[in-house]
């Protein structure tokens, strides 16, 4: 009988833990983006993704030119 009881309790725990986890997720208050508004940079003053990519590619091209020049001078 104790073996059957432990199997039943184990099965009940295995079913209860995920159920409690899902209930906790549903009841938890979601984070809002306006909670840390003081730390965010306004979108108007941020460069766009394309600008970042362009600047990155520009720097990479300059590095390649420097490397090619140093190889040529050797």
The pLDDT of residue 16: 87
Is 13 within the bounds of a domain? yes
Residue 40 lies in a domain: no
Within-domain flag for 17: yes
- Determine, yes or no, domain membership for 37: no
Compute the C-alpha angle 7/11/13, nearest 5°: 115
For the chain, give the mean pLDDT. Answer: 77
Domain that holds residue 61: 1-32+49-73
pLDDT greater than 70 at residue 21: yes
Q: Is residue 4 part of a domain?
A: yes
How far lies 4's CA from each of 9, 10, 18, 71, in Å?
Answer: 9, 10, 22, 77
Domain count, the chain: 1
23-56 pLDDT, tens per residue? 887 887 665 555 555 566 666 776 676 777 888 8
Within a domain: 5: yes
Q: What pLDDT sits at residue 72? A: 83
């Amino acid at each position: 009988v104790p073996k059957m009881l432990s199997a039943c309790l184990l099965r009940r725990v295995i079913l209860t833990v995920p159920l409690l986890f899902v209930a906790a997720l549903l009841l938890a208050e979601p984070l809002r983006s306006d909670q840390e508004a003081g730390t965010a940079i306004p979108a108007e003053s941020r460069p766009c993704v394309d600008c970042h990519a362009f600047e990155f590619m520009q720097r990479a091209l300059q590095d390649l030119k420097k490397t090619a020049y140093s190889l040529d001078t050797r």
